[in-house]
């Protein structure tokens, strides 16, 4: 395999990792702070993608995509907030199985809601003008949009890092991650914090969906497809760790892309083998926090 080909393969792996990181970061954040494994997280991704088509259609012209990138995640965040307040709030501290079933029910409800609004037809969204076509990287042709996604993921990673380390909200979230019981005692409004965290997590899923939309075809099954891979990412990286999610996403994306070259029919199996290997060595994932 030539160097150029290898570079191209790694780049496609990284753009795959970029979407995985954005989506899995939301999943990981919600688990870290709230100890909720949200099976419905992939639905936020799907919802974001379909809403992007609607918003970009309504705001025609060059700003359609930008509008979608802002409005769709906001709507998804509100949906997330409603779900947290109406359903999940009742389940904190209850057994994990009940929480799993509840988020699973949310997945079904959102799935049917998207089907009801959008029907079964596959949808697509055009990339924004500035990210169309391809660039020539020293003889390797690469989609401009792929680079755009990688940059977007880096910006989001930076933003999340700043949020967690530089703001009061971030401090509260970190406190919730390390010791949820103490949080209420020191005067933090835990109910409000959890709603905000869940909305933020949902918005990240939504942003992932909007960013994924221009490069793929929107199908009703995309919620389940992304959630399976997102779980692989957070299990490798360690649930609740932002750095772990980033490393996990890159590992999953690049392993998959390279796996395709050498073992075409077993690429996803290799990803799960990596996951198993990590779990054997570090049961809480590479950067995971052991359960208190």
Partner 1 sequence: MRMTRRDARRHTGARRRVAAALLAAALAASACAADGDGPGSPGAAGDGTEPAGEDGADADTDADAGTADAPEGDPLRIGMATSLSGSIALFGVANQNGAQLAVDQLNASGGVLGRPVELIVRDDQARPEEGAALARDLILSEGVDVLLGPVSSGVALAITEVSEERKVPFITHTANTSALMVEQFQPYMVSVVPNTYMEARAQGVDLADEPYTRWATIAPNYEFGQRQTQTFVDTITAENDQVEIIAQQFPELGEADLRPFITALISSDPEAVYSPLFAGDLITFTRQAADLGFFEQVEFTALYETDALEELRDEVDLEGVRGYSRCPFTIDNDQMRDFVDAYQQAHDRVPSDWACMAYDAVMLWAQVAEAAGTEDADAFVETVEDFSFTGLRGETHIRGIDHQAAVPSYIGRLTFDDELGFYVYTDLQTVPAEDIWLSEDEVTELRGG
Residue of 143, 205, 285, 288 that binds partner 1 (CB under 8 A): 143
Strand partners, 141: 136
No. of helices (H) and no. of strands (E), the chain: 11, 2
Rounded-to-integer distance, Cα 77 and Cα 37, Å: 17
Rounded-to-integer distance, Cα 211 and Cα 190, Å: 31
Q: Contact between 98 and partner 1 (CB under 8 A)? A: yes
Judged by beta carbon, residue 103 or residue 241, the one nearer partner 1 is: 103
In the block, residue with structure tokens 């688990």: 31
Q: What share of the chain is helix, strand, coil (3-state, %, to 5)?
A: 75, 5, 20
Judged by beta carbon, residue 91 or residue 188, the one nearer partner 1 is: 91
Containing H/E element for 135? strand 134-137
Judged by beta carbon, residue 127 or residue 169, the one nearer partner 1 is: 127
Judged by beta carbon, residue 183 or residue 252, the one nearer partner 1 is: 252
Closest separation in Å from C-beta 120 to partner 1: 4
Residue of 62, 129, 134, 184 that binds partner 1 (CB under 8 A): 134
- Window 34 to 93, contacts with partner 1 (CB under 8 A): 83, 86-87
Residues whose CB is less than 8 angstroms from the CB of residue 12 and which lie 6 or more positions away in sequence, other chains included: 146, 257
Residue of 61, 93, 168, 264 that binds partner 1 (CB under 8 A): 264
- DSSP-assigned letter for residue 94: S
Chain residues in the site for partner 1 (CB under 8 A): 1-2, 5, 8-9, 12-13, 15-16, 19, 83, 86-87, 98, 101-102, 104-109, 112-113, 115-122, 124, 126, 133-134, 141-146, 212, 215-217, 219-222, 225-226, 256-257, 260-261, 264-265, 267-268
């Amino acid at each position: 395999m030539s160097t150029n080909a290898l570079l191209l393969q790694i780049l496609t792996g990284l753009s795959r990792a970029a979407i995985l990181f954005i989506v899995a970061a939301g999943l990981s954040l919600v688990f870290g702070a709230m100890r909720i494994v949200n099976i419905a997280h992939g639905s936020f991704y799907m919802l974001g993608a379909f809403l992007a088509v609607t918003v970009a259609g309504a705001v025609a012209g060059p700003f359609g995509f930008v509008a979608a990138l802002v409005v769709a995640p906001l709507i998804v965040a509100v949906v997330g907030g409603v779900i947290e307040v109406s359903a999940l709030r009742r389940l904190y501290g209850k057994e994990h199985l009940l929480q799993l079933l509840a988020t699973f029910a949310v997945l079904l409800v959102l799935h049917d809601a998207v089907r009801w609004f959008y029907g079964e037809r596959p949808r697509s969204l055009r990339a924004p003008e500035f990210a169309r076509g391809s660039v020539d990287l020293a003889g390797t042709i690469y989609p401009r949009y792929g680079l755009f996604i990688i940059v977007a993921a880096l910006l989001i990673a930076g933003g999340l890092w700043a949020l967690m380390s530089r703001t009061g909200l971030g401090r509260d979230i970190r406190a919730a991650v390390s010791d949820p019981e103490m949080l209420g005692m020191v005067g933090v409004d835990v109910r409000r914090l959890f709603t905000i965290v869940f909305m933020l997590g949902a918005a990240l899923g939504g942003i992932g969906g909007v960013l994924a939309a221009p490069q793929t075809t929107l199908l009703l099954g995309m919620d389940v497809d992304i959630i399976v891979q997102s779980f692989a990412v957070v299990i490798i990286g360690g649930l609740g760790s932002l750095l772990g999610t980033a490393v996990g996403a890159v590992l999953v994306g690049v392993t998959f892309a390279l796996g395709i070259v050498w073992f075409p029919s077993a690429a996803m199996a290799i990803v799960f083998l990596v996951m198993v290997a990590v779990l054997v060595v570090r049961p809480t994932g590479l950067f995971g926090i052991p359960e208190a």
